[in-house]
Amino acid sequence: MTRVALATCSRLPRLDADGPALVAALDAAGVRGEPVVWDSGADWAAYELVVVRSTWDYVPRRQEFLAWAASVPRLANPAEVLAWNTDKRYLGELATAGVPVVPTTFVAPGEAYQPPSYEHVVKPTVSAGSRDTRRFAAGESSAAHAAALLDGGRPVLVQPYVAAVDAAGETSVLSFLGVHSHAARKAAVLVPGAGHPDDVAITPRDATAAELAVARQALDQVPGGPLLYARVDLVPGPDGPLLMELEVTEPAMFLSQSAGAAERFAAAVVELLG
């Protein structure tokens, strides 16, 4: 049986919530999916393919993670895509290319930071799972939070908070090998002055034609496509969907939110194997 490594982290040695369904779907497709911790020193050449899944501890060791990715003989998604996507300054590139992105300002260490007067979000450009992300109410200063990140050598990004998310949530659009698979709704995750809650409600959602169009527009800008997997996170804007994030490194895929999603992911793996 063909062996495929499903790269994860030591905190989740058996993968995330998507893991059991994916392993079962791969097995049904004649592929043995084996969870393997990315920094365990495994023999990656022993696998026909390594699929990045729940490697959620990479943030404080990004360079080590990218060096690992570059060393893997056959990796999905490719190492160059991971290098591009693990720094959120890619949002600026997408905006320049015409993708409708939530307006974003970047501040580098050593640059002056002026807190906006409107409701806004401040986060480091390298983060995952909303780690070190904070929402600030109108008139509330984010100077201390930004200073803590910048003084630690971490560039930050600043975005207006999209209030429509409180009612509508975010829409995550999932695709495998460039083909739309399913979508999910993620409830609002930030409250003023706080970070990511422990539990976030995820429910099925049908993506609109406009959301699918923005997702495709964003994915067309990714270097090195088509990608085995991608998740495009969108929020409602005044003139249509806006890109919040493009997740092509280690996103949760919300496989339980759509019948057959795990099987579609497994079929994409088999197709990539050739």
Q: Which domains does the chain have, with CATH numbers?
A: 2-85 (3.40.50.20), 90-99+163-254 (3.30.470.20), 105-160 (no CATH)
Query: How many C-beta neighbours within 10 Å does residue 23 have?
Result: 21
Distances (CA, A) of 266 to 24, 160, 236, 261: 9, 38, 31, 9
Residue 274 contacts by C-beta under 8 Å, 6 or more apart in sequence? Answer: none
Mean per-residue pLDDT over the chain, rounded: 94
Instruction: For residue range 188-221, list pLDDT tens digits in order.
Output: 866 555 444 456 789 999 999 999 999 999 999 9
pLDDT of residue 191: 58
User: Tens digit of pLDDT for each residue in 64-100?
Assistant: 999 999 999 999 999 999 999 999 999 999 999 999 9
Residue with the larger pLDDT of the pair 193 and 34: 34
pTM for the full model? Answer: 0.94
pLDDT at residue number 131 = 81
The predicted pLDDT at position 95 comes to: 98
pLDDT at 129: 74
Q: Are 184 and 254 in contact (CB under 8 A)?
A: yes
Q: List, for residues 116-160, the tens digit of each pLDDT value.
A: 999 999 999 999 877 889 999 999 999 999 999 999 999 999 999
